Structure 1
């Protein structure tokens, strides 16, 4: 039990330092800023419309209200653009530490991702579904690697009696990471076969089927990782 508690603490600390989690916090702050500034802009604009005289010119106080309303609208627009920029640029999770057992798998994944991107350019529209699944799988695998790294961090500071539970958790997560990385590498191999087939002729149905099967396998594995993470969070919440 104590090992499980330490694992959860390590995961929380790792998540707090993770670039993706920091990005989510920045998104939350940006959304709050947009709401606040829209509220202020709406209030000042409404007040200006009410207070401005309908005739007889605009006095200095009225000009002040109008300027404040304009500035608040501009501020709200800027905050909205900032929120859009944050939504468009989601960083990947941090790379595991140099001595982490997850580091080799993440390095393999990085090489596979680079290879697949080059292959998918050759495939054009035929590789669009594969590209979408690959992006989702890569993110899930990098998040899984971050969890492995967090559990290993807990092992370094936990008492000996907690090591058994942490070792088991680390081994389970690492096994899933290796399995997912292998599935991604198989997808790269299938994409390479498909590219080779298109070079040799009009296309090989067998190579295309291999690519589809590898894509479906990667999709299923990524979905399984999401389910495992969701169950773990629900269990901790309960």
Structure 2
């Protein structure tokens, strides 16, 4: 069953075509990754999926609902982990989750319970009353993941979930995403880390110039092209792999 379906999906910014008539489906329970160089259109696709921006043409549905017709019902069932750290610095870790729960009309008692459970899930239970400025980069990313889960989403959208993290913190986030995968949560992510894509993703779409070059499992792509996923990426896009610092 397809959770997300796109047909001839196109997004223009003035004369710039950021996404160029792409087709894809994301199946229930799978981890689907978008790979590609900067400017390939990955983040634009993600923003259309979670109803942040409209497409220019083509069709996009999430949970069988057209994103342009009933975005509110879609947003209620989605969790979003953006690339930027946009936590509220005036609040502590627990308060960031509790306040965010208001956007989903979650009763305060339920929000308090969920915040406690999610802080434990991301191993930040000892930081509940800690202000954001005192958290490390890895802790902030895990807290943003917890915030994205506050409404118990059926689909989790992750834009560069481990960008800028040290290897230990990156693996800590991978561990949590793997646990969500085992619970049959559908995940869609963008990443510049080929190891991350190979470890987490059931299938990947490699994008370049707003188009999808190929869609397949990492193992199938590596077998077909006779090399690592990074080798496949370089071969199909012709661009060097730029990993954000």
Query: More helix per residue: 1 or 2?
Result: 1
Higher strand share: 2
**Between Structure 1 and Structure 2, whose CA radius of gyration is higher?**
1
TM-score scaled to structure 2, two decimals? 0.24
